[in-house]
Amino acid sequence: MKKIVIIGAGASGVYLSILLKQKNPCYEVIVLEQNKAPLKKLLATGNGRCNLSNQKMNSKYYQSDNQELVQSIIQDFDMVQQMQKIGLYCTYQGDLLYPKSEQALTVKNVFMQRSEEKGVIFAYDQEVTQIQKHKHQYLITTTSQQILADAIVLAMGSEAGKLSGMNHSRYDLLKQLQLKIIEPMPSLVQFYTSPAIKSLKGVRVKGTFSLIENQQCIHKEKGELLFTDYGVSGIAVMQLSSFYKKHHNYQLYIDFFDEISHNQLCQLLSNQTSLFLEGLINHKLAVYFQKYQHLSIEKLASLLKHYPLNIQGVREASYAQVMKGGLSLDNVTEDLELKQYPHIYAIGEILNVAGMCGGYNLHFALASACHVVEAIEREKYVKNS
């Protein structure tokens, strides 16, 4: 009997366990999880609705050090078909794919039910501290036991999100194995800004938002922004944060009137009554902008279409949806097998693959699990031939 140990009971690890047992019921599949329960982070995905994939699936929506490998993994994975195989019915809402129930809890329940039905063994409160070669196997040491494995899959995720388990031991483990690590940093996360306009806390703005450095536009997003007491949040901000790099000086430009031109906005402003900007924008914004009453209509229009905020940084990992960085794809073969360690694979967010908002990260997590199962199957047939 082949013993495969999966380190991490997140989406990629649990899904992998199902696929392994489907292909080979005789395999002993053990999932080690450092938390007290599986799939904790999945429950928060898509605000609890679990956005699984996107119609516009392409590697250009990911940041990685091997875009070609990412493309090869995501392109042939049909999320609707694959989820239906395990009893999860999904439907598209526009470009976004959700479970029919629109509940992440449903996804968790289906995943766990299928894995437990097939005899997957789960062990919780198991922080892995060391992996060593042991003859033709690997010896895994956790905080409470040692396990011999014929194959290992690293599916530890990252420390993004408050539900992920916020220790750094996953990176310590990679360093012990002398693997190349791209420095992890929060992505799909909020910005700290200067000023942080506390009087606008809770105000939502629809518009176009641009990440600017040295007067050059790095990226722009149309959507919604939320003012907070520390800076700004919202889906558009989360998307922009994926382009943020350390030690760069950025500004965020807000176009409050992206649906009309500068000249059209000037015309609107010239028709204003004595109530400054009331009727044009949110009341709290109108009050905030009263300090600019002295400006000419031309300058006021320019300000409303290019309102600048200095970006002081991104919020911490505990607030992020994903982390950029992690295990460099230079370490792995096309099968996601570690080049230095035969029969050790890596999947999901532990890899240096970070997608945009919109189901891209879950798609890669599950697609990479499927990719590794196919690689293990090929290896089995090569050995038996």
| 210-218 contacts at long range (C-beta below 8 A, 24 or more positions apart) | 210/252, 210/253, 210/255, 211/240, 211/243, 211/244, 211/250, 211/251, 211/252, 211/311, 212/250, 212/251, 212/252, 212/253, 212/308, 213/248, 213/249, 213/250, 213/251, 214/249, 218/243, 218/250
DSSP 381: H
pLDDT band at 347 (very low <50, low <70, confident <90, very high): very high
49-67 pLDDT, tens per residue? Answer: 999 999 999 999 999 999 9
In this structure, what are the phi and psi dihedrals at residue 281, rounded to the nearest 5 degrees? -140, 175
Percent of the chain with pLDDT strictly greater than 70? 96
What pLDDT digit, counting tens, does each position of 291-337 carry? 999 999 999 999 999 999 999 999 999 999 999 999 999 999 999 99
385 pLDDT tier (thresholds 50, 70, 90): very low
Q: Which two tokens stand for residue 122?
A: 């789960």
The model carries a pTM of: 0.94
- 154 pLDDT exceeds 90? yes
Q: For 247-287, how does the pLDDT look when each residue is reduced to its tens digit (9 = 90+)?
A: 999 999 999 999 999 999 999 999 876 678 999 999 999 99
Provide the pLDDT for residue 44. 85
- Tell me the domains of the chain and their CATH numbers: 3-186+324-384 (3.50.50.60), 191-314 (no CATH)
